[in-house]
Each structure stands twice: as C-alpha cells, then as structure tokens.
Amino acid sequence: MRTQVGIVGAGPAGLLLSHLLHLRGIDSVVLEARSREYVEQRVRAGVLEQGTVDLLNEAGVGERMRKEGLPHHGIELRYGGAGHRIPFEKLVPGRAITVYGQQEVVKDLIARRLADGGKILFDVPDVAPHSLEKSPYLTFQGERLDCDVIAGCDGFHGVCRPSIPEGVLSIFQRDYPFAWLGILARVPPSSEELIYAHSDRGFALHSMRTPEISRFYLQVPTDTSIDDWPDERIWAELRARLETVPGFELTEGPIFAKDVSAMRSFVAEPMRHGNLYLAGDAAHIVPPTGAKGLNLAVADVRLLTAALADFYETGSTGLLDSYSATCLKRVWRAQHFSWWMTTLLHTFEADDAYGGRLQTSHLDYVTSSTAAATTLAENYVGLPFEPGASHA
C-alpha cells in the first residue's frame, strides 16, 4: 500500500486532516486502533471555538452542526452567592462558541470521508511507525503502508510520540491535585448558558449537549471511584455547588453516563521529528476548564494541511519546517489560559485561606473590569487563526 500521508488515529484531528487534505487533492489513509462504533460514541469535549465552527463550515462538514449545535454568546461565573455573566456579544462582537459534542464531529467527518471514498481502517491495534527520518512507513497486521509523511493524531496514549527517539523531545507537564467527575443526564439544561461555579466545596460546571441532555462536572479527589458516587450523591453535591444564587433550581433526571478524568497539562516539543508530525493530544494536553483540547487539534491540522499543500504544490519545505514553532505559539497560549481558568475556579488546599482570598479577589476583578472580562472572552471563544493557512 502507498499513500501520500499516513494518518494514525481516527479522532477529530486525524479525520479532519484527512478531509482537508482531500480538499487539496492530497491522498491519505487513516489507521485507527479502535472500532468505528467506539470512536463515534467516545464522549469528550463539546465546546467549539468560533474558528473551529467557521473551518468546519468552510470545509463542508458543518451542516448537522448548524442544525443541532447550540450557539452561546456568554458564560456565567458563579461564586459568593451571585452569578456574573461574561457577555461575548459585547466584549468580542461577532464571535461565540457552539456546544456540539466531539463525538458528533467525529460522526460527521467519518460519514463525509467514506462518502468521498476516503480510506479509514478501523480495528488495527498494532500500528507502528518506521524510518521517520528517511522514507517513512507504517506497519499493521502484517501490512505495510508507505507514505511521504506520517501524521501522529493518535492521542496522548498513542504510538507515534513514543516512536520518537529518546532525548529528542522536551516534555513539560503539570498534574493537578484533583479530578473531574463528569455525568450525562437525560434532562433539559437548567440554564441557557454554561455555568462555571466556584465554592468552598469545590468547582462545578453546568453544561449541555442538546436541549434534552445536560452535562455536569464536579471537582473530586484524584483517587475518586465512580462506585463512590451514586446518583443521589451526585445530585446533592451539584445542588450544593450550583444552587447558590437566589431563584436558581437545578433540574434533575436520569444519569446515563459517568466518568472520572484526571487533570493535567502536557506539552511535547518539538511537534515534528523527521517526517513525523504530531497533532492534537499526541503533542499536548490541557485541563478541560478552558475548553481548548479539540480546538487546539483543529488548529494543528489546519496548519499541517497548509504546509503539506504548499510542499506538494511548490516543493517548498518552509511551512513544514515552521509547523512545530507556529503550532506551539498557540499551544502555549491555550496552556496558560487553561491553567488560569483552572486555578481561578477550583478549590485547592482546604487550609489555604490566603489562596482562597486571592481567588475571590481575582474573580471580583474579572467580573468587574471590562479589560479583564475581555481577556477571558477572547481566549474562550478562541483567538483568530494565523493568516495564510486556509484549507482552500
């Protein structure tokens, strides 16, 4: 087998890259360790930045998102018994977020790639990259796929990043002393916009997936087991952390999914070794507080598409050579914003009265200063893409 770009991973990064390359006349093959059913049902983030929404629409894969996605023009910061809205329409006119589950983006991309004749191979768990600095190829199940370039879009636990020789990468990471307990409930949202709640009991987030399904998160200890959190306890804790504003009542209903996620920040530099290019979670992880993970992956593959198109059209390696450095500028901005949102809203050591007062002071500043609120808003809806890297 031969293709121009061998893509490892059929998550949103790998699938979008394959689609964008197709639009530029570049062939690719996507290899995925899991089944199609698994990747289409895997629940992940659901907040799309303005740039991500625009790119999906421009690339012709946004029809269902436009029908079913939920545009939001603000978020609420709730603390100290009051809610404070951050109005995107006022602070960053013309830009918003759209709530649309990552698994829905994946379904749309798979359907489009297959309709266009794209090649996605599922259930191939033994993928291995080879000859990264010369003539790269991938092996899997006794097969060999020769390619010009390998795109590692296989996530934090994938095979591509570990295939880079020891000593090449610099790793930057931070683990947080808490986790998130996430649930999906078959219940209409209790608010039209996301609520980020800070309290002495810990952080809570009220989100949604559809007008009939709500998504909630609770800050919990890192050693939390789902078995320790029956439905009754979850709803009681959500009420305690969210029903802190007069007149607000949390609508409860059947919970049909639970998960516990560790909180970490991670960056691997550079995002390229030879003819292997890392994208998305294979290269960087952010805590979900700032809703940046999927959106960073989209920004990565947008740049990689432009670089590969330029290479095949002109023979120039300039954009490929600058791929890592260009991506990392955005990655580190998102790392800082995600860290900032996390430290602003979560409860740390119970006896750290000084830190608690600093948090309250900072929240007061963000919710009372137009300049501070604008900083939050423009980072949350997503900074503009770099010029000169369109998919078209």
Weakest-pLDDT range from 35-49, 90-104, 111-125, 316-330: 35-49
The pLDDT score that the predictor gives to residue 388 is 56
Q: Which of 137, 196, 217, 277 is catalytic?
A: 196
196 is catalytic: yes
Letter string b/e over residues 120-157, b meaning 16 or more CB atoms within 10 A of that residue's CB: bbbebeebebeebeeebbbebeeeebebbbbbbbbbee
Mean pLDDT, residues 192-197:
97
Is 22 a domain residue?
A: yes
Is 301 a domain residue?
A: yes
391 is catalytic: no
Helices of type H across the chain: 12-23, 36-41, 50-58, 63-68, 88-91, 102-115, 231-242, 293-314, 318-345, 353-368, 370-380
pLDDT higher than threshold 70 for residue 14: yes
Residue with the larger pLDDT of the pair 140 and 46: 140
Q: Which of 136, 292, 323, 346 is catalytic?
A: 292
DSSP string across 209-237: EETTEEEEEEEE-TT--GGG--HHHHHHH
Q: Is 335 exposed, middle or buried (0-12, 13-18, 19+ CB in 10 A)?
A: buried
288 is catalytic: yes
Chain segment 69-113, per-residue pLDDT in tens: 999 999 999 999 999 999 999 999 999 999 999 999 999 999 999
Q: Domain tally for the chain?
A: 1
Is 242 a domain residue?
A: no
Is 188 a domain residue?
A: no
Is 386 a domain residue?
A: no
Distance CA 385, CA 378 (A): 13
Distance CA 47, CA 24 (A): 27
Is 46 a domain residue?
A: yes
CB atoms within 10 A of CB 348: 14
Name residues whose C-beta falls within 8 Å of residue 1's C-beta, 6 or more positions apart in sequence.
29, 143, 144, 145, 146
Angle of helix 370-380 versus helix 318-345 axis, rounded to 10: 130
Chain segment 259-316, per-residue pLDDT in tens: 999 999 999 999 999 999 999 999 999 999 999 999 999 999 999 999 999 999 999 9
Is 369 a domain residue?
A: no
Structure tokens at 381: 């809806």
Tokens 């590692």 appear where? Answer: 152
12 is catalytic: no
Is 254 a domain residue?
A: no
Q: Which of 72, 198, 206, 284 is catalytic?
A: 72
Residue pair 265/352 in contact (Cβ under 8 Å)? The answer is no
The pLDDT score that the predictor gives to residue 351 is 72
Q: Which of 100, 176, 323, 380 is catalytic?
A: 380
CB atoms within 10 A of CB 359: 19
State how beta strands 276-278 and 272-273 pair: antiparallel
Angle of helix 12-23 versus helix 102-115 axis, rounded to 10: 40
Question: Smallest Cα–Cα separation from 268: which of 158, 139, 138?
Answer: 158
Establish whether the linkage from the previous residue to 270 is cis, with ω within 30° of 0. yes
Distance CA 267, CA 287 (A): 12
| Domain range for 40 | 5-71+97-173+264-348
Chain segment 216-264, per-residue pLDDT in tens: 999 999 999 999 999 999 999 999 999 999 999 999 999 999 999 999 9
pLDDT higher than threshold 50 for residue 66: yes
The pLDDT score that the predictor gives to residue 125 is 87
211 is catalytic: no
Q: Which of 22, 217, 288, 346 is catalytic?
A: 288
Name residues whose C-beta falls within 8 Å of residue 333's C-beta, 6 or more positions apart in sequence.
379, 383
Residue pair 6/136 in contact (Cβ under 8 Å)? The answer is yes
Residue pair 294/51 in contact (Cβ under 8 Å)? The answer is no
* CATH code for position 113: 3.50.50.60
